[in-house]
Every structure is written in structure tokens, then in C-alpha cells.
Amino acid sequence: MSFMFFLVAAAVVGIDQLTKHAVATHFLPDESRIVIPHVLWLTYVQNHRGAFGLFGSHPLLLAAFALAVVLVFYYWYRQDGATLLTHVAFGLILGGALGNIIDRVRLAYVVDFIDFKTTGFPVFNVADSCINIGVALLLLRIIVHERRQKAAPAASGAIDPQAAPDGAPLPERSPVEP
């Protein structure tokens, strides 16, 4: 099933790079076009900063940091159980990170273009979306896993310290009177 991890990552990188290339080819920097009136615009932004415009404009430092994060996630992926959800989530994160690293190394900035102007949210791209979706899937997996672990002792017949050796509840004791 690990092929799913690499398949998702490769698909994300491909779609991300194709969409960025299309925008950079057909738009001037800071040009904006309406896709859905009052909701969605395509705006070509050359983002020299980190995620959501943070961390200054040091492309190689940002690329190195992103690569370090990718390596940490990959290590975590290798340690984690092999569920389809995990493979897809880590594939989305890796593909998104690599898509932005390619831009940073090749262009010294990241091409952003998805713009919900009315929300005030920063302009972003396919890679950013995939990273966020991947992280959300991992959080969902962690929550589900923790709930299953909490439910497992009850379902497995864990020993209740208030039960008799045969598992039957102990009779209530009346208080001892002096």
C-alpha cells in the first residue's frame, strides 16, 4: 500500500506545478481575475515569504526548513501504522511540501493564486491546500485512534478492581457500626 503514498505525492506535485505554471504563463504578477463573483478570484502572487506570508524572504532557508519538516513527517510516516488514510495524508503533505520547495529552489518564491478576497485570508496554492488537508486527515486519524484505544479496554473485558475474581460485581458492604 506504500505505492499509494508515492502516487498521491506525485499527483500533488504534478497538479501543483501545472496550475502554478498556467497562472504564471497567463497572468502578470498581482493580476487578478474573477472566477466566482464575490467569492473566488485567481490572483498571481509571487510569495517570497513562508506559509501565510510568515518568516521573511530567505528562499533557501525556507526550502531547507521545509525539507527538514518533510523528513520529520517521513520519519513519522515510517513509524506509523500502514492505514490507507495515513498513506494518503502523508502523500498529500509530502507532495505539497515538495511542490513549494520546487518553487523556492527554482524561482526563489512560491507561486500563489487561489484568492478568497472577501475573507481576508492570504492567497494560497494547491500545495498549501494539500498540506492542510493532509494535516487535517492526520489529526482525524489521531482522534479516531485515541477513541478506539479508550474504548478497547471496556470491549476487551479488562479487569475491574471492583469485581470478584469471576468478574461478577462484588456485593455492597454495609458500613460497620461501632
Q: Which is nearest to 141 in space by CA: 89, 178, 92?
A: 89
Alpha helices in the chain (DSSP H): 2-26, 59-79, 84-107, 126-155
Which pLDDT does position 68 carry in this prediction? 81
Choice among 103, 128, 160, 166 that is catalytic: 128
Choice among 16, 103, 112, 115 that is catalytic: 112
- 160 a catalytic residue: no
**What distances in angstroms separate CA 154 from CA 21, 26, 146, 150, 159, one per listed residue?**
54, 60, 14, 8, 9
Residue 146, Cβ density class (10 Å: 0-12 exposed, 13-18 middle, ≥19 buried): exposed
Residue 89, Cβ density class (10 Å: 0-12 exposed, 13-18 middle, ≥19 buried): buried
> Per-residue pLDDT tens for 9-66?
999 999 999 999 999 999 999 999 999 999 999 999 999 877 655 566 666 777 777 7
- 112 a catalytic residue: yes
